[in-house]
Amino acid sequence: MTGQVRGVQLARLLGQWHALPGRRRSPDYAALAGTVRGLLADGRLPLGVRLPAERELAEALRISRTTVTAAYRQLRETGHLASRRGAGSWTMLPGNHRVASTGLWTPLDDREMLDLGVAALAAPPQLLTAARAATEDLPRYLGGAGYHPTGIIELREAVADAYAARGLPTSADQIMVTSGTQHALDLVLRLALAPGGSVLVESPTYPNALAALAGRRARITTHGLAADGWEPDLLLGSLRQTRPKLAYLIPEFQNPTGHLMPAELRERVVAAAHAVGTDLVIDESFVDLPLDGTELPPPVGVYDRHSRVISIGGMSKPYWGGLRIGWVRASAPQVQRLAAVRVGVDMASPVLDQLVAVHLLADADTIVAERRVQLAVQRDALLGALAQRLPDWRVTVPRGGVTLWAELDGPVSSALARAAEEVGVRLAPGPRFGLDGTMERFLRLPFTLPAADLVEAVGRIAAVRYDLDRTGRQRWREPAVIA
Ligand SMILES: Cc1ncc(COP(=O)(O)O)c(C=O)c1O
């Protein structure tokens, strides 16, 4: 057991549970149980928490206790709840589920699913060639123990060169290779943030970054992104007022919104962070993926004169997530301190995978150019399908990255995600990208699947969106007390 959720808290999470799609066909207890299952699947209700006693939840929802009793019974029958007499009921998941790469739980038998929950491309064709070439290189390393806590020198040099090519002179001893960007973030947090430390993040932001911050029990404040990106005065004002220990920002094609931070704001953020003693963790996951010939502003690190900026990035978005190669760019002493932390975690990254990365980076110009063309085609297919099938949704055309952030025609994101799952489309609903269950009007749509799949997915989403209206609209207008 990891905690307990009180009746009023669960009531808040459950929101408009009585307005579920298909609601008119199902009794109250089934709608309630269905919404609890949805919260578990969305990751908004953790596993292993104790649910409120039946009477407490009934009072919080202003419904009869027998309805809650029946809902809990159904949850036990479907394997979502374990109860012990006198001790309470805990959330769990049925055995036929697994953790997906989004961090969400998904059924095991989902091969046919069009997965729009994950914003990552399949591997490029060059990956096999790079892997074969890497095995040829491997003998050079086999005479040693193979532990390189900061990474093999060839890869650190290649990554440092790429920074230099972007206008940020970097030496190999400023680079530490990690097992993906997420690992880089976790290590940086271990080094730079004491448990319970304060952190500023964008809202919405990348959910797994929030998970990493939760792991440090960080106290989080947010900067709300506007429809066209960061609001400079508010962002700088938040830094000055809250003086967080650390700020985590995604300036290039922000996940999920796709915004690109302008050069001037980069400079001002670094200056403000230095003035208040905040370290900046800059996630550059999407920096290689400007589309439509969009010019990139200088890297945030260019404005850093006091080692305030720690940049993290990796191979997952331009190349392949399965490679699990990322890195940290920091000062050489910080890299040494990170390496000391790292040996207490996983010692080092696999040598063979790092060699594969070296070969891919040697071919970066070709591979990345192809990825950009592919992504632009897929983005345009997605935009076209949305304009045709869901014309009331508002989207800003992202000039890079792999996601677009759609504003829906109502606060239905979670309900829509649940309904879409039924027709074979997995979605990451808006609240996954916020802190407190807000963002129900938004949905992140990645354009990483082939164009035909994206068009098919939008068609299915549009169909269930229409169904939501038919079954739920009445209830949205007049939230009723159900007894
Ligand atoms: C902003 C951001 N940071 C980090 C990651 C994790 O990347 P990696 O696969 O390199 O760990 C992602 C992946 O979606 C991301 O979007």
pLDDT the model gives residue 112: 78
The DSSP element (H or E) to which 443 belongs, if any, is strand 442-446
Mean pLDDT by 10 residues, the chain (483 residues): 80 77 70 85 78 94 94 92 89 73 61 88 98 98 97 98 98 98 98 96 95 93 94 96 97 98 98 97 98 97 96 98 98 97 95 98 98 98 98 96 96 90 92 83 97 97 86 44 45
Q: If you measure from the C-alpha of residue 401 to the centroid of ligand 1, how many angstroms do you get, rounded to a whole number?
A: 12
Q: Which of 179, 187, 317, 433 to mutate to test the pocket of ligand 1 (most atoms within 8 A of CB)?
A: 317
CB atoms under 10 Å from CB of 193, counted, come to 22
Q: Residue with the nearest Cα to atom 2 of ligand 1?
A: 285
Which residue type does 16 have?
Answer: Q
Q: If you measure from the C-alpha of residue 209 to the centroid of ligand 1, how many angstroms do you get, rounded to a whole number?
A: 8
Ligand 1 pocket check for 178: Cβ under 6 Å? no
**369 with 291: CB under 8 angstroms?**
no
Q: b vs e for 39-77, b when ≥16 Cβ sit within 10 Å of the residue's Cβ?
A: bbbbbbbeeebbbbebebbbbbbebeeebbebbbebbee
Ligand 1 pocket check for 42: Cβ under 6 Å? no
Of 204, 191, 195, nearest to 249 by C-alpha is: 204
**335 with 150: CB under 8 angstroms?**
yes
For tokens 């000039």, name the residue. Answer: 399
Ligand 1 pocket check for 316: Cβ under 6 Å? yes
Ligand 1 pocket check for 283: Cβ under 6 Å? yes
Ligand 1 pocket check for 102: Cβ under 6 Å? no
Q: If you measure from the C-alpha of residue 395 to the centroid of ligand 1, how many angstroms do you get, rounded to a whole number?
A: 23
Q: Which of 285, 288, 289, 319 to mutate to test the pocket of ligand 1 (most atoms within 8 A of CB)?
A: 285
Ligand 1 pocket check for 326: Cβ under 6 Å? yes
DSSP secondary structure string for all residues of 322-373:
GG--EEEE--HHHHHHHHHHHTTTTS---HHHHHHHHHHHHTHHHHHHHHHH
Q: If you measure from the C-alpha of residue 365 to the centroid of ligand 1, how many angstroms do you get, rounded to a whole number?
A: 21
Tell me the pTM. 0.84
Distance CA 329, CA 170 (A): 8
**317 with 402: CB under 8 angstroms?**
yes
Helix (H, G, I), strand (E, B) or coil at 445: strand
Distance CA 31, CA 238 (A): 41
Bond prior to 124 in cis (omega within 30° of 0): no
Of 13, 129, 57, 92, nearest to 367 by C-alpha is: 129
- Taking the CA of residue 119 as reference, the ligand 1 atom at the shortest distance is 14
Task: Tell how far CA 298 is from the center of its chain.
Answer: 24
Half-sphere exposure of 325 (CA within 13 A, CB side): 24
Cβ neighbors of 140 (< 8 A, separation 6 or more) are: none
Cβ neighbors of 290 (< 8 A, separation 6 or more) are: 252, 253, 260, 296, 372, 399, 400
- Taking the CA of residue 250 as reference, the ligand 1 atom at the shortest distance is 1
- Taking the CA of residue 179 as reference, the ligand 1 atom at the shortest distance is 11
pLDDT the model gives residue 479: 40
pLDDT the model gives residue 481: 45
Q: Are strands 198-203 and 219-224 parallel, antiparallel or unpaired?
A: parallel
The DSSP element (H or E) to which 49 belongs, if any, is strand 49-51
Q: What is the CA radius of gyration of the chain?
A: 24
pLDDT the model gives residue 224: 93
- Taking the CA of residue 325 as reference, the ligand 1 atom at the shortest distance is 10
**444 with 433: CB under 8 angstroms?**
yes
Joined tokens for residue 101: 């790469």
pLDDT the model gives residue 107: 60
Joined tokens for residue 185: 């973030």
Distance CA 354, CA 296 (A): 27
pLDDT the model gives residue 474: 41
pLDDT the model gives residue 468: 81
